[in-house]
Amino acid sequence: MTVFQLTLTTISPLFRHSLPVYLALCLAVCSVLIATPTLAGSRILGTGAVSAIEGAAGGGLSPWAVLSSTASEQEVGITAAASRAWVDDYQLTVTGASVNIYDRLELSVARQTLDLETVGGELSQDIYGAKLRLLGDVLYHPWGIWSVGVQHKRLVDGAIPTALGADNTRGNDVYLSASKLLFGALAGRNVLLNATLRNTDANQGGLLGFGGDQGNRSWVAEGSVGVFVTPQWIIGTEYRQKPDNLSAAREDDWQSLYSAFFFNKHLSLTGAWLDLGAIAGLPSQRGGYLSLQAAF
């Protein structure tokens, strides 16, 4: 059995960085599979999470240990994703796709584009990822699910990051994630926990290059807590620690408050409030995030 999952975030202005053929295929698959509910995966609603901004399954800001789609160990799931974040002086657009092979291996690709609304221009990077489930299950294993992942990042144009002092225009992140659902842990409601340990030299996730005069590779922590208000609705918070390699463009940790509603295995809607701190010398970047996800 093959599971197709399409994630569409926001509306038409979002897709100006996407390929027309990709969009046409997404819409075609969406229209066919909404009428075919049996093509949903065997895993429980919501266990594939949503697509993080770097393409892997997780929350908005950080990858989780779960793999994309609701494909089980005898299924293959395909995910396409698009995202938009609005903060005070920037807009971030992300499009991507992933494949879940037998709920063991996830392969992903994403394109990030940061519009520099105040100074003009844009920064873009491509991200190629792989995530391997090491052991466990998010629902029933006493220690949850554990996965290891790698992300290879390449800037499309490194002129601005190099001018700010970045050492490289490409780099690699390696991370270990653990996720666990605690049944009835808060007033009878299920609680979802995730922790990620990442080794990285990326500045602003890679959009400002890799390494710099203040340092290179470092270990950073990421985490999230979510509460299922109902079996279909989860609210929570994410936190992502950041390195600080550039003296010319200091950066802060990222955090969010999110709400996601899973209408069914095919459709979910996610909204979030973001606090990204200083980005490229501009302080207090706060704003919103919106994600519409269709799974097939």
- Percent of the chain residues past pLDDT 90, beyond the cut: 60
Whether pLDDT at 18 is above 80: no
The mean per-residue pLDDT over the stretch 162-183 comes to 95
Give pLDDT, residue 141.
93
Whether pLDDT at 104 is above 90: yes
Give me the count of residues in the chain. 296
Q: Give me the DSSP letters along 114-173.
A: EEETTT--EEEEEEEEEEEEEEE-TTTSTT-EEEEEEEEEEES--HHHHHHT-SBSEEEE
Give pLDDT, residue 39.
52
Domain ranges of the chain: 2-295
CATH topology of domain 2-295: Porin (2.40.160)
- pLDDT tens, position by position, 252-269: 999 999 999 888 877 878
pTM over 0.95: no
Whether pLDDT at 103 is above 90: yes
